[in-house]
Structures are given as structure tokens and as C-alpha cells.
Structure 1
Amino acid sequence: MTAKAQACPCGSGKNYAACCGRFIEEGMVPQSAEELMRSRYSAYVVKNEDYLKATWHATTRPSEPVLQDDGGKWLGLEVRRHVPAGDSATVEFVARYKMAGRAHRMHEISNFVREDGRWYYVDGSFPITK
């Protein structure tokens, strides 16, 4: 992302530098699982592999690259709920993307854990929608 004054991809309504950019580019620490989830979505948009790996819990972090050059484009994020529970939390969200000219939705309930004052993405499940 070249212009720091651009809107943040996470849909917060803030500019990138004041929102997720402060975590991805400046190394600040998200204070909630929702902030981490939003910043991870933004890291997918701006293609920052290092940030994604650094915020993935060591027990579930993949060894292979996370980002794929598959021509996909992220289109938007809707956070449905954030449920903190001490040093763990869940965040339910829907991310929209386009691949090969077709629009798609990814609905996930993500699990996070806080260790030594930092939140980490652990894993997620994909609810069946009817």
C-alpha cells in the first residue's frame, strides 16, 4: 500500500496508517483479538507474509508460504462478532474476494489466544450456511 492516507482495507473507516498500518508497518501490538483479526485481513490485502506468520500461533503456524499468487483480490470485510474470554477470544467474520472473475465469501469463526501480552491467531472453523 503506497499512500498511507488510503482507507484501511479492514473497513474500519480509518486511514490505513491510523488503523492496521500501525500494526503491520510500525510494529505496534493489537490490544484485542478483533484488532489482530482486522490487521491480518489487511495484511492479506497488502500481501505482507511476514506479519501473517508473526501473528500466527507457533503451534498452528504453517511452514509453507501463506500468500498465494492466485490472482485473487480481497474486496471487503464484515466483522460479525468479537467474543473475548480472558486470554482467548473468537472473532466471526465474512471476507469477500474475487477470483477468476467470480465473487466469493469466506465465513470464518477464528480462535485467538493472548500470550505475554500479544494476541495470536490459532485456527478457525467455517460454519455451514444455508
Structure 2
Amino acid sequence: MGYQVEKSDAEWREQLSPAEYDVLRNAGTERPFVGEYTDTKTTGVYKCRACQAELFRSDTKFDSHCGWPSFFAPLAEDRVEYLVDKSMGTVRTEVRCGNCGSHLGHVFEGEGYGTPTDQRYCINSISLTLEPDAS
């Protein structure tokens, strides 16, 4: 698939820290409850750490107590793409940045959270950069 932002593996490795590269480019997962945005309440826009595309607003973030930042919807459906993920012995829906193809996390449905969409976008903090709203 062609993305608006495309870089070679060497360019991604130069731009990203080893931990960022593992998650964003190799679909790794950061450990639960250690990410910088897990409990953040700051108002603003969450962007892809790799390409700075705007992905989620803080007003869609909610406390799921799962160990990773959770959102009930992206800014728009074209901001993310979905892939079937059959790793880990189960079928899940992987969420990637629609602008550069970087791994963000997974989306789950029907878990009973009181959100407008009944979805939980479980996103790695290390995949995001928060741009706070101007005061």
C-alpha cells in the first residue's frame, strides 16, 4: 500500500529510537501501565510519533484501566487503517497510521465500555505524541 509518508528502513531507524522503532515499524507492544499517556488528562491532539499525522482528540480518550491509552474513535476513519492480526493465537484488528503505516495498537468492540462507539482503540503511548491545546 502506498502512504503519503514513505521512508526506507534505514531512514526510520535513524529517525526513531530503538523502542519507538520496535513498536511503530515492527508492530511491537510496550508494557502495560508504563506509557507516558496512559493516565494523561491533558486536552489536545494525539499525533503519530513517526509522521505527526493527527489521529485522536483527547475528548475521545477514556479510562479503560487496560494499561494503555484508550480512545473510542479516531479523528476520522481515513486517519487510521485496519489489518487482521492473527498473532498471539487469536484474531484481532490491528490499527495503523493511515499516513505512514506505523503500528499504533489494536481496536476492540463489544467490551461494554460506556462509550458512544462501544469500541476501544488500545494504542501504545510510544506510538503517539500529544500536542496540547493552546491555553
TM-score by length of 1: 0.28
Structure with the larger RCO, 1 or 2 (CA within 8 Å, 6+ apart):
2
TM-score by length of 2: 0.27
Is the strand fraction higher in 1 or 2?
Answer: 1
